[in-house]
Amino acid sequence: MTHLSTLSKHAASLLGITLSDEQIGKFKRLTELLLSWNERMNLTAITEPAEIAIKHYLDALTLAQAVPQFDDLRLIDVGTGAGFPGLPLAIVFPRLQVALMDSTAKKLRFIDDVAQSLGLENITSLHSRAEDAGQSKRHREAYDIVVARAVARMPVLAEYTLPLCKVGGQAVAMKGMSAFEETAAAAKAITALGGELFGIEEVMLPTLDNPRYLIVIDKIKPTPRRYPRKAGMPSRQPIV
């Protein structure tokens, strides 16, 4: 399994994460399931195991660059799709409780299959739109860390993520080259939702030319009751 030994090597050298043989075995099984489900449903455009290891697994683990430790925290992955970044985090940090949320039920069937096949006891799948979860008793301000990759532009994403975050917790958005422009555009939304920009962390992945960025937002105040607005509103009329 060359691509997984490469993952293991980069996780150690870039992030100081040591993967056990058991965890490497789980990543191997995850790749098998992802490729097999991908024949029946569109889960990922990336189908080379070596590329999956870097662009899905290692990319997810770079969140460790922004979050000093995950043990005993509750994390929600908003718009998780095929489970990224949440699944790799759940594999590597078994004491992290991971909720994987998506508005598309069929993607969650894949995640439930992965959870069972890999014996992951620290994940739950959640079929919901972020706007509905953000107004529900169970999920509003219930998470220490809220993460999202490739879901929406930052002014919209702030309204999807910050209502789910506890005061004292953090929302982290994974972005490409548009990170700085999007963060500037979201300044008003971040403040209105009870957040404060902590910083933008640059991440370099092996084999990729362009850097990636983690936009880290501290939740400093409770989100006003009126946010998130009803489903569809944040994307139709972003707070600007």
Residues in the interface with ligand SAM (CB under 6 A) total 17
State yes or no: residue 80 binds ligand SAM (CB under 6 A). yes
- One of 107, 139, 140, 175 touching ligand SAM (CB under 6 A): 107
Backbone angles phi, psi at 224, to 5 degrees: -55, 145
Q: Is 143 in the site for ligand SAM (CB under 6 A)?
A: no
Q: Are 98 and 89 in contact (CB under 8 A)?
A: yes
Closer CB to ligand SAM, 113 or 220, in the complex: 113
What is the DSSP pairing of strand 212-219 with strand 165-175? antiparallel
Report the residue number, 9 or 230, with the smaller CB distance to ligand SAM.
Answer: 230
Judged by CB under 6 A, the residue of 3, 149, 175, 212 near ligand SAM is 149
Binding ligand SAM by CB under 6 A: which of 151, 165, 171, 216? 151
Q: Which stretch binds ligand SAM (CB under 6 A): 65-73, 80-88, 115-123, 135-143?
A: 80-88
What is the distance between the alpha carbons of residues 4 and 17, in angstroms, rounded to a whole number?
14
Residue 2 vs 139, nearer CB to ligand SAM: 139
Cross-strand partners of 94: none
Which range, of 47-55, 127-135, 183-191, 217-225, touches ligand SAM by CB under 6 A?
127-135
Rounded (10°) CA dihedral 178, 179, 185, 188: 170
Q: Is 160 in the site for ligand SAM (CB under 6 A)?
A: yes
CA distances from 14 to 8, 54, 56, 88, 100 (A): 10, 12, 15, 16, 25
Residue 72: count other Cβ atoms within 10 Å of its Cβ.
10
Positions touching ligand SAM (CB under 6 A) are 79-82, 84, 101-104, 107, 129-131, 149-151, 160
